[in-house]
Chains A and B, each alone.
Chain A
């Protein structure tokens, strides 16, 4: 595949498996397989979304769903779709994508596929801080700001205790596990200090739930996810170098710590906001990137595929939680734990590959 390069006035054959887009001295390579797979995944996400919008106590055909989305059809359907289910769906898509991209980035930084934010305690810490702001223990900022602070604190601690970079991935993970369990304990403690009704109300959120999320936060989450994913994609070109050792990264003209810092910051922001909105649904960050790697099968970091897969997982889990045991609604965090727990076990049990990632 080759494209006319307007500057050098000659044909530059692109590397195999890529399209070259070259305009006025700028050139961008596009992985054919990535495009194809991401298109497929997007179609799947779309189909699942429409399905999810149609399912529930009021069951609707996909056609009616689409009509309602376009502002047609009867007012009852429009209300259910646009006022109730759409917000929930969007919250699921945004947080799922955010968790998953954050997971993919952390795995890359730690050079270990187990080092996702949920496992290294970032979720729980963000949760503890957010709970603190809700139950009001002297400090009360917005939950998302607090969650962000919590996520950053936990990550900094994990890095400090875990002995720096990815070279000791496992030590980093255990440090994170410890931080996570302390944070979970603190959340519990805080909840025992408030009135039982408040605690009961907060319960679904503390295990991860998409039900009744504040409407005004959803566009904010959408924006954060978009910024996070886009900056990840722009930096992806450099982030893929993290698969090499530090000396190779240095030799190729990048500063390993700077790359890691950038990736971790994006991961923290995404996780912090997602936890503030949906609670600690951390196992999406493990399942999403894994699905993406298995399905996308392209070279480099599957960031975009991770985002789409994470959204798919989240929407599916929420759909299952809403419909499987209806009229009882199972929080999405519980569903992902049931799926993610065995998945984590499977990763641990199967033959370790030569590489850790």
Chain B
């Protein structure tokens, strides 16, 4: 314990990354275990435990293997994707409020999915590509809008633009859905955002995109860190800020689009996770991104566990819970003495 006290007395940027990372990973592992053990159904914790160590009833084993395990895995991947997407977007926008959900990326993905459903696709076979294209368009649109007036760095205008785009796309989506009852039924379970009921096939279908995005992210991490010192500095160090920006946007669209394709729009994760990471290890983008890897899944998995407990015997939508967690963080960021512009 004295070790921990001493640890947290240090300035965030002085804390050793490995210690932070290990700590969070331990908590994450606990959460994963809990996620496998706790459910809204009839199987209680001890039965689950039995099943987990291979001695449970058939029902319990089935529930764990076929329901809770895929669900936890999806939450793990989606959490990583959204956390990293948030960190990337905030770095490139130099704006602590930039978040895929708030900036209309999720709404863009939803809209694209609704169009695809209307054109006859089925939610089960839906290619993640559709959502990604929607996400990409949403992403570029807001960034372009903000750049037009050089308001890129004005935190509030950017998210207001995102809110405007979101409300427009949501409205269009609801018109599309009114046209087609089947599409509406298929999409209803999807629009609130949830990691439940997703098969591993869904996850496997988007895995290649996550891999591409991960490689892209690895490539841009270093130039992005130099861009934190200003575009001119980055230019002087031999990077091309414009290229970097486009690559980052592409990566964000792949990550957020794929995550949205499997789990629906989940707001605020991209805001809360980098915020927590920065609070832990300071503003350096590389350190932040590494910390986002365990913190993102931690947030989604723990929120997902809560959704099963709070509204028993039914479940609460995950998207609702993340909004309830995320909004106070948004307020905290704004409440800070000076709106931090990520330098």
Give the distance in Å from the alpha carbon of A119 to the alpha carbon of B171 in the complex.
Answer: 16
B residues less than 8 Å from A192 (CB atoms): 192, 311, 314, 316-317, 320
Contact of A330 among B149, B157, B175, B335 (CB under 8 A): B175
Contact with A along B201-234 (1 / 0, CB 8 A): 0000000000000000000000000000000000
**Interface residue ranges of B133-183 to A (CB < 8 Å):** 145, 148-149, 151, 155-157, 159-161, 163-172, 174-175, 178-179
Q: How far is B97's CA from A175's CA once the two chains are assembled, in angstroms?
A: 12
CA distance A333 to B169 in the complex (A): 13
B29 at the interface (CB under 8 A from A): no
**Complex alpha-carbon distance, A173 and B97, angstroms:** 13
A207 in contact with B320 given A341-B167, A348-B161 (CB within 8 Å): no
Contact B324 A338 (CB under 8 A): no
B24 within 8 A of A: no
Asked if residues A193 and B330 are in contact (CB atoms below 8 Å), the reply is: no
Using an 8 Å CB-CB cutoff, how does the interface string of B273-291 with A read, 1 for contact, 0 for none?
0000000000000000000
Distance of A71 Cα from B327 Cα, bound (Å): 53
B40 at the interface (CB under 8 A from A): no
Task: Please tell me if the beta carbons of A341 and B168 are within 8 angstroms of each other in the complex.
Answer: yes
Cβ contacts B314-332/A at 8 Å (1 or 0 each): 1011011101101110110
Cross-chain contact of A175 among B151, B331, B339 (Cβ < 8 A): B331
Partner of A341, one of B165, B314, B319, B327: B165
Q: How far does the alpha carbon of A256 sit from the alpha carbon of B77 in the complex, in Å? A: 52
CB distance from B37 to the nearest CB of A (A): 24
Number of interface residues, chain B, beta carbon within 8 A:
45
Q: Are B327 and A174 in contact (CB under 8 A)?
A: no
The answer to whether B323 and A193 have CB atoms under 8 Å apart is no
CB pair A185–B319 under 8 Å, yes or no, is: yes
Contacts of B155 in A (CB 8 A): 174
From B149, B163, B169, B268, name the one whose CB has the most chain A CB atoms within 10 angstroms: B163
Q: A295 an interface residue at 8 Å Cβ cutoff?
A: no
Contact of B334 with A328 in the complex, beta carbons under 8 Å: no
A 303-330 to B, binary, CB cutoff 8 A, 1 in contact else 0:
0000000000000000000000100101
Is the C-beta of A30 less than 8 angstroms from some C-beta in chain B? no
Contact with B along A188-225 (1 / 0, CB 8 A): 11001100000000000001000000000000000000
Minimum CB distance partner of B147 in chain A? A349
Q: Which of A323-353 contact B (CB under 8 A)?
A: 325, 328, 330-331, 333-335, 337-338, 340-342, 344-345, 348-352
- Cβ contacts under 8 Å, A173 to chain B: 156, 160
Residue pair B174, A207 in contact (C-beta under 8 Å): yes
Taking a contact as CB atoms under 8 Å apart, the answer to whether A348 and B174 are in contact is: no
Docked-complex contact A348 and B167, CB < 8 angstroms: no
Measured between beta carbons, the chain B residues less than 8 angstroms from A114 are 160
A135 within 8 A of B: no
Give the A-binding residues of B (Cβ under 8 A).
97, 145, 148-149, 151, 155-157, 159-161, 163-172, 174-175, 178-179, 192, 267-268, 311, 314, 316-317, 319-321, 323-324, 326-328, 330-331, 334-335, 339
Known: A341-B164, A345-B145. 5 other contacts (CB 8 A): A178-B334, A330-B178, A340-B167, A341-B167, A344-B164
By a beta-carbon cutoff of 8 Å, the part of chain A in contact with chain B is 114, 119, 161, 163, 170-171, 173-175, 177-179, 181-182, 184-186, 188-189, 192-193, 207, 283, 325, 328, 330-331, 333-335, 337-338, 340-342, 344-345, 348-352
Sorted from nearest, which 4 A-B pairs have the closest CB atoms?
A341-B168, A337-B171, A185-B323, A344-B164
17 of the cross-chain contacts (CB-CB < 8 Å) are A171-B334, A174-B97, A174-B155, A185-B319, A185-B323, A185-B324, A189-B320, A207-B174, A331-B174, A337-B167, A338-B171, A342-B164, A342-B168, A345-B164, A345-B165, A348-B149, A349-B149
